[in-house]
Chain A
Amino acid sequence: MIVEPGWYMALAAALFLIGAMGMLLRRNALVMFMCIELMLNAVNLTLIAAGRALNDLNGQVAVFFILVVAAAEVVVGLAIIVSIFRLRATASVDELSELKG
């Protein structure tokens, strides 16, 4: 029994869904950030599986760029979370309402 690329894509869809649900349900900014990483990983898995299905190595190259962008995003995002914490002493996104009109 062979594992089709579609199976990997289904697994990636489930991972993406769990990440999106966490993004919507949790209020801790750090956990929301981890859910973003979860979704990025799901997309990476999809790209690898699609590249295999299409006999194309460019899927793996795209995953590289996503990895780099995710790393840069984590660095800046965590710095923002830390500076918000220094200002407000909270990591809950419900407490941050300065921009509310």
Chain B
Amino acid sequence: MVELALFALMGLGALAGAVTVVMARNPVYSAMGLLATLLSVAVLYVVQLAHLVAAVQVIVYAGAVLTLFLFVIMLIGVDQVVDTDERLRYQRPLVGGVAGLIILFAAALTMLGDFDWVPPATVMNPDATNGTVEAVAVPLFTDWVLAFEATALLLTVAAAGAIALAAYRRRRV
């Protein structure tokens, strides 16, 4: 019952935030909508016992990534005129139509409960997927240690690339 209430509340919050991201004229409002979605999804992670992932979501996404977004928005300037000339005549209704079809498809699948292409476990065992730090660390540092090392390399390369892009000055000709 608690899970249902949380799912409804946080699901609505996530959807409202997502719609705000797309609809808001001001990019700052978009960032705030993204923040609402990220925090709602973090609560949904906790409901599903993914504790560590939820904590990382709040720290990395809502903390670091969103701060970076706001920083760049402030750097570029928020008071830009939204150009109103329409260069996409039929694409927008097309996107709406396709989106409606996909929503109907997803809703039909959910109502029918037909997820047969992945056979679910017969009994859900909350102990097996209780994502504490220790429980997540064991597969992370045994089965996936090579991928873990690769992401360390990726982060180093990304940081170096960002610094190289920021320090780059165009030579005057």
Contacts and interface: CB of A to CB of B under 8 A. Distances in A.
Indicate the size class of the contact surface on chain B.
35 or more
Contacts of B4: 1-3
Contacts of A50: 118
Interface in B11-63: 11, 14-15, 18-19, 21-22, 24, 27, 30-31, 34, 37-38, 41, 44-45, 47-50, 52-53, 56-57, 60-61
Contact of B121 (A3, A6, A55): A55
Nearest to A95: B83
Contacts of B139: 57-58, 61
A14 B68 contact: no
A21 interface: yes
A75 B159 contact: yes
B79 interface: no
Nearest to B110: A10
B114 to A, nearest CB: 9
B27 A65 contact: no
Contacts of A65: 144, 147, 151
A98 interface: no
